[in-house]
Amino acid sequence: MLSRFYFLFSLFISIGLSLASTNSDKEFVEEVPILMYHHVRIPPPQAKRLEKILTVTPSDFFQQMNALYQAGYRTISLNQLFEKKWEKRFIITFDDGYKDVIQEAYPILESFGFKATIFVITNEIGKPGHLDWWDIKFLESQGWEVGSHTVSHQNLCHLSMQNQWKEIYQSKVILEKALGHKVYFLSYPAGRFNEQVINLVKMAGYKGAVSTLPGRENKIEDIYKLKRVRVNGGTPLSYFMEKVLGNQAKRNTKISVSKLQRPTRSVSPLKSPSQ
Ligand SMILES: [Zn+2]
């Protein structure tokens, strides 16, 4: 198995990185904001500054989703991004695969009929505070997408090519084996990538990858460095809407926050067999 892996690895390298050129020369700009979240929960009292930044409270998350819902926005998946020119669509992504995604974010999203993509670190699956396989399969059964956030969440730019390949390819294989289908998207740990990393991501068979480069618009030629809108904890709702929708926010959104109501459809709390 290992020798096959290295054979394939060297074969790919010998074919040459030049083969992995961009898959399209079409000039196609899609203004479908890709939101980036990590934790959705009340930050624990001992949370450090970075953790607080990466944590959106359930009530803020609800307000954000409700504001987009009331403005007529609906979710699409990363796979659908360049299918056509979309109107009033957005994409939700969660990096790192934290347990609170299924505990807190999922019921809120479900009440709006929204779907999201989770980028999981395969070494962390099932560890305390992280989603386990049951959770991941459940979210998938609900129409969510699953992508790779590599094997161990290291900065890919600091690794040897062999280890970059391992992080990128092995995580894909592990997910595909467990889920029984292809995995097409990757999220770069800490948003770090370079041309060599992109080439390996293409060779591993991913259709695209998300970065932490800021922005709402994406071109098809940048499908391996998709920009995202980072949503930090404590972001005021009006600023969130401006960040996500840009000028569209002014055109389309006339929402009084005080009038926002929780949708009536309720979702029963989730319990996985392992909990
Ligand atoms: Zn991460």
Structurally, the chain folds into a number of domains equal to 1
Residue 176 lies in a domain: yes
What pLDDT does 15 receive? Answer: 43
Residue 19 lies in a domain: no
What tens digit of pLDDT does each residue of 133-179 get?
Answer: 999 999 999 999 999 999 999 999 999 999 999 999 999 999 999 99
Residue 73 lies in a domain: yes
CA of 256 relative to ligand 1 center, distance in Å: 34
Structural domain containing residue 238:
26-251
Question: With bands split at pLDDT 50, 70 and 90, how would you rate the model's confidence at 246?
Answer: confident
Residue 41 lies in a domain: yes
For position 221, which CATH number holds? 3.20.20.370
CA of 104 relative to ligand 1 center, distance in Å: 19
CA-CA distance, 13 to 196, in Å (whole number)?
A: 11
CA of 190 relative to ligand 1 center, distance in Å: 5
Residue 14, pLDDT > 90, answer no
CA of 254 relative to ligand 1 center, distance in Å: 34
CA of 53 relative to ligand 1 center, distance in Å: 13
CA of 153 relative to ligand 1 center, distance in Å: 6
pTM (2 d.p.): 0.83
What tens digit of pLDDT does each residue of 35-81 get?
Answer: 999 999 999 989 999 999 999 999 999 999 999 999 999 999 999 99
Choose between 246 and 242: higher pLDDT. Answer: 242
Residue 185 lies in a domain: yes
Residue 203 lies in a domain: yes
Residue 20 lies in a domain: no
CA of 96 relative to ligand 1 center, distance in Å: 5
What pLDDT does 248 receive? Answer: 62
Residue 130 lies in a domain: yes
CA of 94 relative to ligand 1 center, distance in Å: 9
Please tell me the least confidently modeled range out of 49-63, 168-182, 217-231, 242-256: 242-256
